[in-house]
Amino acid sequence: MAPRSKRAPRSGSNKVRIEEVARRAGVSPITVSRALNTPEKVNETTRVAVLKAVEETGYIPNRLAGSLASNRSKTVGVIVPTVTNSIFADKIRGLGDVLSGAGYQILLGQSGYSLDAEADLVAALLAQSPSGLVLTGSTHAHRTHVMLERSGVPVVETWTSAEFPIDMQVGFSNEAAAFAVVEHLVAAGYRDLALVVAPVQDNDRALGRLEGFRKAIAHFGLRQPAPEREAAFSLRNGAEALVNILETHPDTDAIFFANDILAAGALLECRRRNIAVPGRLGVAGFDDLEIAAEIVPSLTTVAVPRYEIGSRAAQMLLARLDNAETGRRVQLDFTIMERESTRRER
Amino acid sequence: MAPRSKRAPRSGSNKVRIEEVARRAGVSPITVSRALNTPEKVNETTRVAVLKAVEETGYIPNRLAGSLASNRSKTVGVIVPTVTNSIFADKIRGLGDVLSGAGYQILLGQSGYSLDAEADLVAALLAQSPSGLVLTGSTHAHRTHVMLERSGVPVVETWTSAEFPIDMQVGFSNEAAAFAVVEHLVAAGYRDLALVVAPVQDNDRALGRLEGFRKAIAHFGLRQPAPEREAAFSLRNGAEALVNILETHPDTDAIFFANDILAAGALLECRRRNIAVPGRLGVAGFDDLEIAAEIVPSLTTVAVPRYEIGSRAAQMLLARLDNAETGRRVQLDFTIMERESTRRER
DNA sequence: CTGTTAGCGCTTTCAG
DNA sequence: CTGAAAGCGCTAACAG
């Protein structure tokens, strides 16, 4: 009796394997592999025959097997706090556009602004042997650093300009941007400022903006301590923060919201309460979302390269995987967008 | 001379393999595997020893290898037109919350509203042997259908209520929702309606809304043909569509925008032009994004279960993978949110 | 340019 | 409850 495989055959797996394509094309499996992955290394006649067989059979290569064998996976892990925030959505679009052009897939993780959740995601993503990892921010749990170090996987941290990135970095200086906003408010004639920023706990982007704000307040000799509020990103929270600040600090003449959604919510509340912007109150935002240009009055804000952060991060990763020379820190520019909400008649 | 492996050793791969953990725990590799994947099948003493060894070594299982061997991958492919549209972002959040709780990762693809791009993504995702696929809409390229059929992978189509889903479906009736909006506008006293909808080409959600609108126009005997415009989702496009409609059809007394962002853009334009809403013009939106409740005047719209579409899709997939009984079509409810933008004094 | 052989790291099956 | 052997589908290395 012929020795039978110990392993039962897969239940009617109708999937085409490389061997079948090879048989059909009259070549060996490895030639099919080469025709698909490194076509320039295969004779044209052979290649055409293989592609024909692929077409006829509807063969879709099993990347799991290919990645395991080659130790290269064509996936990139991306961790964002949440896709619901459009600044991260734009980054993902930038990543996706560049990566899918190069045949890579995105493995997406949402950390919910929790470093612990981020660490779990890093472990889960590393388990898939990604070609690279794109993280948000430069603040991570200790075990995240350990795992990343150990894995040797290329890492890009985004949105920050921390001095010592784990590996690569694409971002801008949140601190400098916030400083510039205050500088603009001062130039527009505002003196009694307030700040509304995302919760800074474990959020270096928010923390950078807070610090830039504080430094500018000190630098320009403005009212101290300036009222500061933390609020998660929503229109409602912006409206509520505005009301709260005006109640506790009625002499406030301008508020810097470290996010356009918060600022827009405040502008809508100003309309409901007939608070004159920019006359009674100046309002500035952050991000330059579309609403900043469209809302009435239009919103002064900081334009940041959301999409580009994603596309550049992807490019750096691809360059690294290609063993090309890459810088480690890409510092992008921001631009103050002066609009009606701080255009005070003096 | 001892036979040497033909394959060169991996360049300093510092990754821990299951074998090392096994040695450390004094068991065989398969026992480590079981302790991790099916702990209930392992003696507690053994399990503790294994977990200790895992901890000490920092072992992260190679899922590529595991998936290849077990033919189960713990990833789910998700294809959306774009993450930039917050309705899809909410769906992804719903998917992510449920899937990551069950140990699954999301492989994300963005089709850019192109069926051809979608088909390419389906091929790329299938190559990763996902446990399931979550698609947007029920309109797909022919080859997409062929590939899905062939693969046997569970599929959930979302956002639609097409009669014959490929496999499973979670959505609502875009047509009925649009009909209900018109019904509301009629009840509020509006008669000369217009529609602004996303480009309907290859977009069954937009097409459904268009059809619901047309049916309602006919049903209620309103002005025909009602002006219809296509506009991609943005505030600016909403403002421009408004202006265009009022120029060509000045007698229009209400506009239904099949998306809140378009509607909000129009409301902002109305403010700039001093067009009284709801007096001179009624405005209705679709989706019930946060801005609908916050904008002035607040926006009448349709609340749709964005997050739930994602979470339910994930649950259906998990149930199927668990061989549990599942329905094939989940039809969720929508709710008309009556707000100021259509509250006409009569 | 093409084929042979071995093996990626894990889990399946079957035996104890 | 635990282990031995085999093999998932593909590609690296080497030989021709």
Q: DSSP labels for B48-105?
A: HHHHHHHHHHT----HHHHHHHHT---EEEEEES-TTSHHHHHHHHHHHHHHHHTT-E
Could you tell me whether strands A75-80 and A132-136 are parallel, antiparallel, or unpaired per DSSP bridges? parallel
DSSP helix/strand/coil, A155: strand
Q: For nucleotide D12, give the residue with the nearest CA to its C1'.
A: B7
- Residue B7, pLDDT score: 43
**B5 has a chain A CB within 8 A of its CB:** no
Q: How far is A294 from chain B (nearest CA, A)?
A: 7
**B75 has a chain A CB within 8 A of its CB:** yes
Q: Quick one: closest CA in A to B291, which residue?
A: A235
Average of per-residue pLDDT values in chain B: 93
Q: Residue B335 half-sphere exposure, CB side, CA atoms within 13 Å? A: 8
Q: How far is the CA of B284 from the C1' of C3 (A)?
A: 68
Q: Are B258 and B203 in contact (CB under 8 A)?
A: no
Residue B5 has pLDDT above 70, yes or no: no
Strand partners, A156: A134, A168
Alpha-carbon gap, residue B222 to A26, rounded angstroms? 67
- Residue A323, pLDDT score: 80
Q: For nucleotide C5, give the residue with the nearest CA to its C1'.
A: B6
- Residue B163, pLDDT score: 92
Strand partners, B302: B336
Q: Are A90 and A115 in contact (CB under 8 A)?
A: no
Q: For nucleotide D8, give the residue with the nearest CA to its C1'.
A: B69
Instruction: Determine whether the distance from the CB of A46 to the nearest atom of strand D is below 7 Å.
Output: no
Of residues B247, B293, B346, B313, the one with CA closest to residue B90: B313
Average of per-residue pLDDT values in chain A: 93
**A60 has a chain B CB within 8 A of its CB:** yes
Residue A326 has pLDDT above 50, yes or no: yes
- Tell me the Cα Rg of chain B: 26
- Residue A187, pLDDT score: 97
What digits encode the pLDDT tens for the residues A111-144? 999 999 999 999 999 999 999 999 999 999 999 9
Q: Read off the pLDDT band of A5 (50, 70, 90).
A: very low
Q: Domain B174-303: which topology?
A: Rossmann fold (3.40.50)
Fold match, B58-172+308-333 / B174-303: yes
Q: Read off the pLDDT band of A174 (50, 70, 90).
A: very high
Lookup result for tokens 């009022």: B246
**B178 has a chain A CB within 8 A of its CB:** no
Lookup result for tokens 């996706």: A96
- Residue B3, pLDDT score: 37
DSSP helix/strand/coil, B134: strand
* Pick from B106, B121, B294: CB nearest A236: B294
- A 10 A CB-CB count for B221 gives 9
Centroid of chain to Cα B79? 8
Residue A181 has pLDDT above 90, yes or no: yes
Contacts of A1 (CB under 8 A, 6+ apart): none
- In this prediction, what percent of chain A has a pLDDT beyond 70? 95
What's the CATH code, domain B58-172+308-333?
A: 3.40.50.2300
DSSP helix/strand/coil, B262: helix
**A92 has a chain B CB within 8 A of its CB:** yes
- Residue B150, pLDDT score: 87
What digits encode the pLDDT tens for the residues B132-167? 999 999 999 999 999 999 888 999 999 999 999 999
CB contact under 8 A, B100 and A109: yes
Each domain of chain B, given as residue ranges in start order, spans: 58-172+308-333, 174-303
- Give the nucleotide nearest to A47 (CA→C1'): C1
Alpha-carbon gap, residue A29 to A19, rounded angstroms? 5
Q: Got the DSSP string for A90-138? A: HHHHHHHHHHHHTT-EEEEEE-TT-HHHHHHHHHHHHTT--SEEEEESS
Contacts of A11 (CB under 8 A, 6+ apart): none
Alpha-carbon gap, residue B66 to B74, rounded angstroms? 10
- Give the nucleotide nearest to A70 (CA→C1'): D11
Lookup result for tokens 């059909």: A24
Q: How far is A62 from chain B (nearest CA, A)?
A: 5
CB contact under 8 A, B84 and A90: yes
* Pick from B68, B83, B90: CB nearest A64: B68
What digits encode the pLDDT tens for the residues B244-273? 999 999 999 999 999 999 999 999 999 999
Q: Are A21 and A54 in contact (CB under 8 A)?
A: yes
- A 10 A CB-CB count for B143 gives 15
Alpha-carbon gap, residue A131 to A316, rounded angstroms? 12
What digits encode the pLDDT tens for the residues B295-316? 999 999 999 999 999 999 999 9
What digits encode the pLDDT tens for the residues B332-343? 999 999 999 999
What value does the mean pLDDT take over residues B183-200? 97
Q: For nucleotide C8, give the residue with the nearest CA to its C1'.
A: A69
CB contact under 8 A, A107 and B108: yes
Q: How far is B89 from chain A (nearest CA, A)?
A: 5
Tokens representing A314 are: 């992807």
Residue A256 has pLDDT above 70, yes or no: yes
What digits encode the pLDDT tens for the residues A234-251? 999 999 999 999 999 999
Alpha-carbon gap, residue A59 to A297, rounded angstroms? 57
Residue A12 has pLDDT above 80, yes or no: no
Q: Read off the pLDDT band of A77 (50, 70, 90).
A: very high
> Strand C: which positions are within 7 A of a protein CB?
1-14
Which residues in window 159-178 of B are less than 7 A from strand D by Cβ? none
